[in-house]
Amino acid sequence: MQSSSVAGTPGAPHVPHVAAHFASREVQDHAARLGMWLFLATEILLFAGLFVCYANYRFAFPDAFAAASRELDLTMGTINTLVLITSSFTAAMAVHYAKEGQNKQVVWMFVLTILMALGFLVIKYFEYSHKFHVHQLPGPYYAYDKIQLPGVSMYFTIYFLSTGLHAFHVIIGMIVLGWVTLKAMRNEFNHSNYTAVELGSMYWHLVDLVWIFLFPMLYLI
Amino acid sequence: MRGEHHSGPGRYLLVWGALMVLTVVTVFTGRMHLPQFGLLLALVIASVKGALVALYFMHLAEHKGANRLVFATSMLFVVLLLLFTLFDVGTRFLPTRPSGSLITNFPVETGQAGRYGGGLKSPGTNPK
C-alpha cells in the first residue's frame, strides 16, 4: 500500500505521500484498490478450482454427497455463517469510522471482527474434532462404517480441503486486521488516509464471500 | 477526500439484515431437500448474498470501472471453468467414469436421447 505516512508532529493528521509515479492522490488510491481487486480475483480463482472439483464429483456421486452432507452439523454451520456475516458487517463499519477519523471506533470494530473470527475457528475446531473422532476423513483414511458408498470419501476430501483452505484465510485475515488495528491504535486514520482499513476489510469480505458459497455446497445438499 | 459517495452505517445495517434473513431462508429451503430445483435455489440465494457483499461491503457499487471489470472477468472465468469441465464429465463414455459413478444413462447404452449425452454415439459407431 502506498499510503504509509511518516511520523509527523504529534496531533497532526497523517496524510499519505503521493509516490512520484502517480499523478495525484486520487490516482494512487485507485491503483491501490485496483491492485487489491486483482489479488482478490486470483483468490476467487484459487477457490474456484475446489468448486469445480466439488461440482464434478457431486455430478458423479449425487447420493453419496447427499448422504455425507447430512453428517455435517447444520446448527454449527449456520451459527458460523451468521457469525462470519456479522464480522463482515463490523469490518465494513470500521471503514466508515476510519473515513470519519474516529480511530477508537475503528479499533473496537476490528477487535469485534477478530473475536468473531476466533469464534468461527473454535466452532470449526469442534466440527473437525468430531469428524476425526468418527473417522470421517479424506481419501483412504475414511473409515466411517455407517455410510459406505462409492464417492463418499471424495466428499470428505473436498470438505477438508475447502474448509481447511478457508480457515487458513480466516487466520491470515485475523493477522491483517490485527495489524490495521495497531495502526488505528496509533491514531493514524482520517478522511484522507484510510486505504489500509479499506483494503484490509476487503480481504475480510472475501473470506465471507467464499464461505457464503461453501456453506450451501457442503451443508445444504 | 476521495469525492465519492460515502456509504453510511444505515446502508451497512440494511445489507447485514438482508444477509442474515437470506441465510435463514437458505437453511430452511435447504432442509426441505427439494429434489429438482434445490441446488438452483441455493445457488441463486448464495449469488444474491455474494452480490450484496461485493457491491456494498466491498464498495464495488461506488468504485471505478476498472475494479468492476476485474471482478466481472474473474467471475466469467469461474463460470467458464465450471461449465467446460462439466460438459466434459457429462458427455464421457462409460469406461472413463469413476467406478461407482451414478452417471449411467449414456444415450447409446439406454437407447434414448440422454439427459447429458447429447447426440454422441458409442466409439466406433460414427458414420464414415
The string of pLDDT tens digits covering residues A38-67 is 999 999 999 999 999 999 999 888 889 999
The string of pLDDT tens digits covering residues A90-143 is 999 999 999 999 999 999 999 999 999 999 999 999 999 999 999 898 888 888
CB contact under 8 A, B26 and A51: no
Site from B27, B105, B106 to mutate, A interface, most A CB atoms within 10 angstroms: B27
Rounded Cα gap, residues A180 and A30, in angstroms: 20
Say which amino acid occupies B104: T
Residue B125: per-residue pLDDT:
56
Q: Are A120 and A80 in contact (CB under 8 A)?
A: yes
Rounded Cα gap, residues B42 and B45, in angstroms: 5
On whether ipTM exceeds 0.95, the answer is no
Q: Is A70 on the interface with B (CB under 8 A)?
A: no
Residue B5: per-residue pLDDT:
52
CB contact under 8 A, A216 and B49: no
The string of pLDDT tens digits covering residues B52-106 is 999 999 988 888 788 899 999 999 999 999 999 988 887 777 767 787 887 765 5
| Average pLDDT score over residue span A16-43 | 89
Sign of CA dihedral A152, A154, A157, A161: negative
Chain A residues with beta carbon closer than 8 angstroms to that of B12? 89, 92-93, 96
Helix (H) or strand (E) holding B13: helix B9-31
Chain A residues with beta carbon closer than 8 angstroms to that of B89? 56, 59-60
CB contact under 8 A, B102 and A37: no
Query: Which of B27, B78, B89 lies at the smallest CB-CB distance from A59?
Result: B89
